[in-house]
Structure 1
Amino acid sequence: MRRFALLAAPALALLALPGAAFAHPKLVSASPAANTAVAKPTKLTLTFSENLVGPLSGIELVMTGMPGMANHAPMPIKGFKSEAKGKVLTVTLPRALPAGTYSLKWHAVAGDQHRIEGQYAFTVR
């Protein structure tokens, strides 16, 4: 019986921890949202389910298509600034995005230190 108590104690301790300790950040909303067409944005915002670790969270933005150019090669967008405050990751662009299609890949790290990634596409008209 004593051996059982020694083995069960760690398992019970894990069950007593709050569920948030095992959670990962999830993308709750974004602007522009996935699969939408928007006017030329100068700022992108991604809102997550948990507070982010700023230096470890960010995006990659690639223009994947341009109107009138069927064979447009993917073009990474550079020069933007990312800032994470609380649950919101804000990306400030140096100028409005030109018309075209874009792929946004995000990565987020919250208090559990696990990197979670995702991606979506949107169009600028």
Structure 2
Amino acid sequence: MKKTVLAALALSALATLPGIAMAHPKLVSATPAADATVAKPTVLTLNFSETLVGPLSGIELTMTGMPGMSDHAPMPIKGFTTKTEGKTLKVTLPRALPSGSYKLNWHAVAADQHRIEGSYAFSVK
């Protein structure tokens, strides 16, 4: 009987481990923040709840509106570099973003290898 109880406890403990190890990364904070208006950034920083796998995590940045141009088509922003350090994804832009509205789509992969995606908008004055 003692072996049965110990076996049941061991199985219960093992059953909880995948839940701990399989946590998905969540966006904790970002600069610029969602819905913020900022002055011409050259660096974007996203902080996650889990340590990231660098080559599998990144962003897509699109200018969605330009002052004085109501029919402005969405324009992808290119030429930036991304670097992960632990739980932080740092995006360095080749030059300051011009005035307008932007949509940032992010994807993050942590140790569990599941790709998690999200997006938010911000504006540059």
Using the size of structure 1 for normalisation, the TM-score is 0.89
> Which amino acid is the alignment partner of residue 109 of structure 2?
V
Q: Which residue of 2 aligns with 1:108?
A: 108
1:42 and 1:87 mapped to 2: Cα distance? 20
User: Is 2:46 the partner of 1:14?
Assistant: no
Post-superposition CA distance 1:59-83 (Å, at most 9, x none): 0000000000000000000000000
2:66 and 2:83 mapped to 1: Cα distance? 28
2:49 and 2:42 mapped to 1: Cα distance? 24
Cα distance, 1:18 vs. partner? Answer: 6.4
Q: Which residue of 1 aligns with 2:25?
A: 25
2:51 and 2:103 mapped to 1: Cα distance? 24
Post-superposition CA distance 1:55-111 (Å, at most 9, x none): 000000000000000000000000000001100000000000000000000000000
Equivalent pairs: percent with the same residue? 70
2:24 and 2:76 mapped to 1: Cα distance? 28
Paired residues in the alignment total: 121
Q: Any gaps of 5 or more consecutive residues in structure 2?
A: none
> Pairwise mapping of residues 19-98 of structure 1 onto structure 2 (< 5 A)?
19-98=19-98
1:53 and 1:18 mapped to 2: Cα distance? 19
Using the size of structure 2 for normalisation, the TM-score is 0.89
SS where residue 122 of structure 2 aligns?
Answer: strand
SS where residue 23 of structure 1 aligns?
Answer: coil
Cα distance, 1:14 vs. partner? Answer: 1.3
The RMSD of aligned alpha carbons is 2.1
Post-superposition CA distance 1:9-58 (Å, at most 9, x none): 8952213x164312100000000000010000000000000100000000
